[in-house]
Structure 1
Amino acid sequence: MSRTKVLLVGASGETGGSIVNGLLESGNFDVAALVRPLSARKPAVARLEERGVEIRKCDLKAPEEQLLEALSGIDVVVSCVGPSEQQDQMPFAKAAKLAGVKRFVPCGFITIAPPGGIMWLRDEKEVVYNHLKQLGIPYTIIDVGWWYQFSFPRLESGKVDYAMTSANNEIVGDGNKITALTDLRDIGRYVALIIADDRTLNKMVFAYNTTMTQNQIYDLMEEISGETVIRNDVSEEMVYNRVISARQSSETYPFDPVKMIPRYLAESQLSCCIRGDNNPDYAKYLGYITSKELYPDFQPVDFREYLTTVVEGTAKGIYTDRIISRAHQRMFIRSDSSDSLYTRFFPRTTSSESLMSR
């Protein structure tokens, strides 16, 4: 029986790296990675090659004939491009259709949210999804909820700073909205199952490990660590103010990371913590099949066990070039409500009535 040939776009990123691991560990796939010619000599690419990943050099913006060459012999494309590159997938998808690719997995891999004005990043992805449907190429959309690695609060002792990307200690709204969580390491394991499953063809799949509220996460962190977690309450009105401010700031240059990241964070708080979108029931309402339905025997990383490794100092940090420790926080002016990453980006607005009334 021939093995499935998968071409991964964005293999050196955090999500892409998890998918490489999942595909290789499954033993059912031949894996290739699409890399820009200028990136081919990077150490991350060399490490992929050492693991048996075939390297194909091509830019997503290359002429169609070059894209077709890069897609030669490929059965499945899985894309993990960055936020500003979402629509770069569209000509690649067209070439994939011409090349006879059997399944195109666009860059989803975020929290559940409805299209149409709640999250800018979601709407950018929806443009690509609609393009795939217009092309008529077989597709699967995969979303994964909020990562374990982003979900836990900071401890005053500083012992978990090494594993943190941001020093967030906010309780948004009442802190009781259920949100779906997934360990980054499990994403690749889910992908390996999903892309080999005929039931997921032309479907949206919500792959997640567990559900918890912010208050439950913070309570668990206190139980495991023996420390009291400082909780900074953020009102619904403040979240709407942040969204308005971030949208206004990013209107002219939406792909500028300095403007894009604050907008993503603010809109994520609105979607996940105020609206409560990121939960399995709402995912089903939107038309998703869940991983719990598809793979009831899947054994994910346990959230308590993960937090225990964080407290013990043995967890692996992510985006380690962007860790914000207590020392780094001293460079930023603190707000009167919190000492988090979010409040560094969002100036107060005088009113949030216009957004709240929508």
Structure 2
Amino acid sequence: MNVTIVGANGEAGLSIIDALSSSPNEFKLTAFVRPTSINKPEIQQIKNKGVSVVPINLENNHDELVKALTGQDVVISCLVPFTTGPEIALANASKEAGIKRFLPSAFGPPCPPEGVMLLREFKETIINHVKKIYLPYTVVDVGMWYQVSLPSLPSGKIDYALKFPAAVVAEDGSHATSLTDLRDVGKYVAKIITDDRTLNKYVFAYNEVWTQEEIHTHLEEVSGEKIPRNLMPARDIEATIADAQVKYDASDKSLPFIFGLAGPQYLYCEWFRQDNLPEPAKYLGYLSTKDLYPDFEPIKYVDYVHEVMQGKGKSIYADR
């Protein structure tokens, strides 16, 4: 199977490349990267895994894109959709090139299409375009990564692994969310793209469900430290989002304003509203990897926490 990954040097893209490159007889991999990124160290890492790297611009480059995609079976977009133009251009070229399955950039929490998260609305614009042109697709969401779920310890012992420590506890800590180890994302994708049952479907891939209080309590038990709870009522996060929305609406829609709104919205979606759970995902039409692949053995959350406590964890976006 010929697979092209776009945005391959992001965290989700690297996870997918790690998983697919471990089966070289099954997957032949190509990575599209921006010409300006071709000399980055992570691109060399990708090449070292046997991936063919193609420097190419996505926008205003339709004919070249079609040519580069011709003969490919699957296209996986790991672009962060701060703008929709590049991914829509990729979808159009994929359609003309005869791509058999297109994975639009998702890899986050399942969520209603409008009114909850700005980034989801960007993603839905792309998904709707994919459907408009009848491009075969699969949307894969993976919940919250283990790697962004832990709070800091007072000692600072695990700060090395926490690029984005969990600083706020929703309400009383009893709200739950679905968690997935970033390293398992690629393993799920390897199964999903070879499964006819997932074509033109939404799939929710997740490992375990934990509440925030369970996470804090477990970390306290294994660390021997007492972690303060910064409890936040729903009305406070809602006020933060409302203020960020006003600023975004009046802005030039540049990245600082997107981040200012997207950050609290993610928190609201995953912990306060509890969209990121199996039952809401089922309501929204997602298939579950628990049903599709009952024999899959994901990395256990307690094992991830143990790794981090042992100094063997890895921070996401460590060099960026």
Q: TM-score range by the shorter chain?
A: over 0.9
1:141 aligns with 2:139: yes
The Cα of 1:252 is off from its aligned counterpart by 3.8
| Structure 1 stretch displaced more, 140-149 or 237-246 | 237-246
Trace 1:66-81 onto structure 2 (pairs within 5 A): 66-81=64-79
The one of 280, 286, 289 aligned to 2:287: 289
Shift of 1:38: 2.2
Q: Name the counterpart of 1:23.
A: 20
SS at 2:4 equivalent: strand
**Residue 318 of structure 2 corresponds to residue 320 of structure 1:** yes
Letter in structure 2 aligned against 1:315: G
Which residue of structure 1 lines up, in the alignment, with residue 257 of structure 2? Answer: 259
TM-score by length of 2: 0.96
Larger mean Cα displacement after TM superposition, 274-283 or 162-171: 162-171
The counterpart of 1:35, out of the listed 33, 36, 45, is 33
* 2:115 aligned partner: 117
In structure 1, the gaps of 5 or more residues are 323-358
Q: Aligned partners of 2:124 and 2:17: how far apart in 1?
A: 25
**CA separation of 1:62/1:55 partners in 2, compared to 1, >3 Å: closer, same or farther?**
farther
Conservation of the 8 A alpha-carbon contact between 2:107 and 2:140: yes
Equivalent residue number for residue 94 of structure 1: 92
Query: Highest Rg: 1 or 2?
Result: 1
Matched residue, 1:55: 53
Q: 2:217 aligns with which of 211, 216, 219?
A: 219
In structure 2, the gaps of 5 or more residues are none
State the secondary structure of the residue aligned to 1:84: coil
Indicate conservation of the 8 Å contact 2:83/2:122, yes or no: no
Once residues 162 and 250 of structure 2 are traced to their aligned partners in structure 1, the CA distance between those partners, rounded to angstroms, is: 31
Change (3 A) 1:85 1:26: farther
Equivalent residue of 2:30, what SS? strand
Cα shift at 1:321: 4.4
The structure-2 alpha-carbon separation of the partners of 1:70 and 1:62, relative to structure 1 and needing over 3 Å to count, comes to farther
Q: Deviation above 3 Å: which 4+ runs of structure 1?
A: 252-255
Q: Secondary structure at the match of 1:26?
A: coil
Q: So what's the TM-score if we normalise by structure 1? A: 0.86
SS of the residue corresponding to residue 87 of structure 2 reads helix
Task: Give the number of equivalent residue pairs.
Answer: 319
Match for 1:11 among 8, 12, 29? Answer: 8
AA partner of residue 5 (structure 2): L
Q: For residues 84 and 233 of structure 2, what CA distance do their matches in structure 1 show? A: 32
Say which SS state the counterpart of residue 98 (structure 1) adopts: helix
Asked whether the 8 Å contact 1:72–1:99 carries over to 2, the reply is yes
1:62 Cα deviation (Å)?
Answer: 3.4
Q: Distance in 2 between matches of 1:113 and 1:65?
A: 34
| In structure 1, C-alpha distance between the alignment counterparts of 2:250 and 2:128, rounded to whole Å | 25
Task: Output the amino acid matched with 2:3.
Answer: V
* Contact 1:254/1:260 (8 A) holds in 2: no
